A and B are shown apart, each in its own frame.
Chain A
Amino acid sequence: MKEDTAKLSRRNFLKEGTILATGVAAAAALPAYDGLLFAAEAPGAKGKWYGIGIDINKCIGCGKCANACKEENNVPKDPFYFRSWVEQYTIKKDGEILVESPNGGINGFKQSVPDADIYKSFFVPKMCNHCAKSPCTQVCPVGATFETDEGIVLVDPNYCIGCRYCVQACPYGCRYIHPEKGTVDKCTLCFHRLKQGYQPACFEICPTEARVFGDLNDPGSKLNYFLKNHNCMVIKPHLNTGSKLNYNALTPEVR
């Protein structure tokens, strides 16, 4: 055991030394590490580049964000169309994972498992990740969905042909076909509000400040403070979507 430790530490020393040496050499050539592991670098522009932070530890599952989103953006009220919704994860003591989202959480949640059987339970608000390498804009055959310079993924409803390829390509299930328009619809990060200087509706309404939104390019922004002070992670990092929706306290069962 002791020998092992000694070996290990020697190996570690060598490893660290090599890394340090390489690091020093590389540091001269590379720009500073920006700390955002899975989000791509801002596309050169010096302006705003929006990102989102959600604190799972603070979400009380009131569903006000999902409701506000539907009110603000005239999303159909039927429970198959959501730009933003809330899920409740309940991990039972026997290991079973239960996920619920009745009507996207708009009418609140009822605890369906008795306390005695629960290992832990928490809410996860979901919305468009506004990916920097977004699979949905990649597959649009006509260029009806795109990413703005500010890092917001938008849809052009006057140009969309309704082929639904983007719906298939989104790993997070954040797109739907608007039943009346026949075109795709998704979160715009309330682009119309942003441009007038207001917060998106779901951020405006969140009663516990579980949602943070801000400029990733601005080191002093609320979002960068949030990212710096929490252990943040994106959903499905292995898909390399460059997601800009960072969750605090995200656990692997959230998918």
Chain B
Amino acid sequence: MPQHLKRLIGVFVIFILFFLVMRQVLRPKSFGELGHFRADAIYENTLRPMHYAVADSCTKCHKDIRSDKDLGFHAKLKCEVCHGPALKHATFANKFKNKQLPDSLVLYKPGERKDCAVCHQRNAARIKITFDTINTTMIHQVDIMKHHPVDPKTNAALKCIDCHNPHQP
């Protein structure tokens, strides 16, 4: 074989060897164990922090609200639906008994019209929807602006919670 071909092949061999070595070096450790992916990624996906608690973690402390709620239409409504993610609150709030809660632990207190409107503002798509499989009561639909119009002079509007107790509507 002529000398120039030998050199050329040499260059290619070095190139391919370099590639094969790098392939071994750079391949992640757990890659391919369970399929064509990093098996560690499954575990890593479980590591993210939770934000939503589970249904009964609220009522452990807020027993009064629970007994209120149990009597009304919102009995089956979970607290976090309106108050937002509460895991942090549920875990740490009892450390601040009789003390001011830090802002990061204070939950959202919905009270504006829009908060109730997301479910109860009359919408053609939800007028026929029933509450759950057992209770066939419909989700109460109100045309909020007709129900209590905004005062055209003062621009004042009653909030829904001025008359209705959201825990026992």
A and B touch in the complex (CB under 8 A): yes
Residues of A within 8 A of B (CB): 57-64, 68, 71-73, 88-90, 107-111, 113, 115, 118, 121-123, 143-146, 148-149, 154, 156, 158-159, 188, 191-193, 195-196, 198-199, 201, 204-205, 207-209
Q: How far is the CB of B150 from chain A (nearest CB, A)?
A: 16
A214 vs chain B, min Cβ distance (A):
15
Instruction: Please tell me if B19 contacts chain A, counting CB pairs below 8 Å.
Output: no
- Kindly specify which of B5-13, B30-38, B97-105 makes contact with the partner chain: B30-38
The answer to whether B80 touches A204, judged by C-beta atoms less than 8 angstroms apart, is yes
Residues of B within 8 A of A111 (CB): 122-125
In the bound complex, do residue B124 and residue A115 qualify as a contact, i.e. CB atoms below 8 Å apart? yes
Report A77 CB to chain B, min CB distance, Å: 14
Apart from A64-B81, A195-B46: 10 A-B pairs, beta carbons within 8 A: A58-B129, A71-B51, A111-B125, A146-B35, A156-B41, A158-B38, A192-B49, A192-B50, A205-B78, A207-B119
Q: A71-B84, A207-B78 are in contact. Are A107 and B118 (CB under 8 A)?
A: yes
Contact pick for A71, options B44, B85, B126, CB 8 Å: B85
Interface size range of chain B in the complex: 35 or more
Residues from chain B with Cβ under 8 Å of A110 in the complex:
121, 123
On whether the beta carbons of A143 and B50 are closer than 8 Å, the reply is no
Q: Closest CB of chain A to B56's CB: distance in Å?
A: 12
Chain A, residue nearest B54 (CB): A198
B41, B129, B132: the one within 8 Å of A159 (CB): B41
Q: How far is the CA of A154 from the CA of B77 in the complex (A)?
A: 31
A58: chain B residues within 8 A (beta carbon): 129-130, 132
Q: Which residue of B lies closest to A64 (CB)?
A: B81
> In the complex, are the beta carbons of B41 and A68 less than 8 A apart?
no
- Which chain A residue has the least Cβ–Cβ distance from B123? A111
B31 — nearest CB in chain A belongs to which residue? A143
CB–CB A193/B85 < 8 A: no
Inter-chain contact B78/A61, CB cutoff 8 Å: no
Q: Which residues of B contact A57 (CB under 8 A)?
A: 129
Which residues of chain B are within 8 angstroms of A188 by Cβ–Cβ distance? 45
B138 → chain A, closest Cβ, in Å?
10
- Report yes or no: A118 in contact with B31, Cβ–Cβ below 8 A: no
B42 on interface, CB distance cutoff 8 Å: yes
Please give the distance in Å from B145's CB to the nearest CB on chain A.
11
Q: Is the beta-carbon distance between B131 and A205 smaller than 8 angstroms? A: no
Q: B125 to A90, Cβ gap below 8 A? A: yes
Residues of B within 8 A of A118 (CB): 124
A113 partner residues in chain B, CB cutoff 8 A: 124
Contact of B36 among A143, A196, A207 (CB under 8 A): A143
**Does B72 touch A at the CB level, under 8 Å?**
no
- B37, A121: Cβ atoms closer than 8 Å: no
In the complex, what distance in Å separates the CA atom of A220 from the CA atom of B123?
36
Q: Which of B41, B78, B85, B126 has a CB less than 8 Å from the CB of A72?
A: B85
Return 17 A-B CB contacts under 8 Å, by A number.
Answer: A60-B129, A61-B126, A64-B118, A68-B80, A71-B85, A72-B85, A73-B48, A108-B114, A108-B117, A108-B121, A121-B124, A146-B35, A149-B34, A154-B41, A156-B44, A204-B55, A207-B81
